[in-house]
A and B are shown apart, each in its own frame.
Chain A
Amino acid sequence: MNNRNDNAKEDHIPGINPEHISEIVYRKWKHEGKDLRQIAREIKRPIGEVQRILSQKQKLLIRKGSIKR
């Protein structure tokens, strides 16, 4: 368990809590109008991961019905 936490700490970039990365990606997309490449560059994450995180967040919001489909 401790080992897993250590790995998580090593993975995440300084100043960004890994638990909040979804919120950060989503915020950059919706508030700042940034695209996948820009977000990936800024948070220093692979573009594929950014894509996956953003899609999941969008699906969650649309499923919850906060945005009318």
Chain B
Amino acid sequence: MSKKTVTERLLSLSTGKLSCFCPTTEEFRKREDSELTQSGQPGLHLKHSLVTRQGAAVSSLQEFNGSLPGIIQSRFFIDSNWPSLLSFENRGRPAMQASSDDEFHDSEAGIDIYALFNAVNGIIRNGVLDVSELDKYSPADAEALNVSGLREVWKHTLTGCSQCREIITALNELRGAVREVAETADRDDQPKSDRDHIKPIS
């Protein structure tokens, strides 16, 4: 019963009463014309008209919500603080930049900074991994290692990528640190001197 009342009231809003909340197309056109005359800048006018249209839509819906009967009834919710998809500030922004670079740092295909480091055996020349080491592979090995893909990774390292630098440093430390451990272990593994086998005379 109450549902029917609500539907009737909503339907009654759909024609004449809504016009008082939403300005007509003619009103918009007049407002835009006056803004264009005031600003004198075409770009500013375009941006401003988008904002005013959005603002008008939001305020109209907010007023419309207020007019809906009952407290528990479902309404339209609009967060006016949400960043606008239409805003000019977002245009041309490289949204996928981070994820595309991640391919160079940890690729499922295995063509990444780790593979490049291993392929050039960690040799660094002029502050970057020595790409000339890749030329030393036979054609079969070059194909197996995907040397052309590794060259792309090397080009990426030339951008001064901090993540690549960190990985290279970590790999160098890994190899160096373990070498130190290995040297220590080798010393421990050495046969004990004869002196150690001599039992003390009691």
Contacts and interface: CB of A to CB of B under 8 A. Distances in A.
Nearest to B150: A51
B106 A67 contact: no
Contact of B119 (A36, A46, A68): A36
Interface in A7-40: 29-31, 33, 35-37
B118 A31 contact: no
Contacts of B170: 62, 67-69
Does more than half of chain B's interface fall in helix, strand or loop, or is it mixed? Answer: helix
Contact of A62 (B141, B144, B167): B167
B177 A67 contact: yes
A31 B174 contact: no
Contacts of A29: 118, 175
Contacts of B174: 30, 58, 61-62, 67
Interface of A: 29-31, 33, 35-37, 46-48, 51-52, 54-55, 58-59, 61-62, 67-69
Interface of B: 106, 110, 112, 114-115, 118-119, 121, 137, 141, 144-145, 166-167, 169-171, 173-175, 177-179, 182
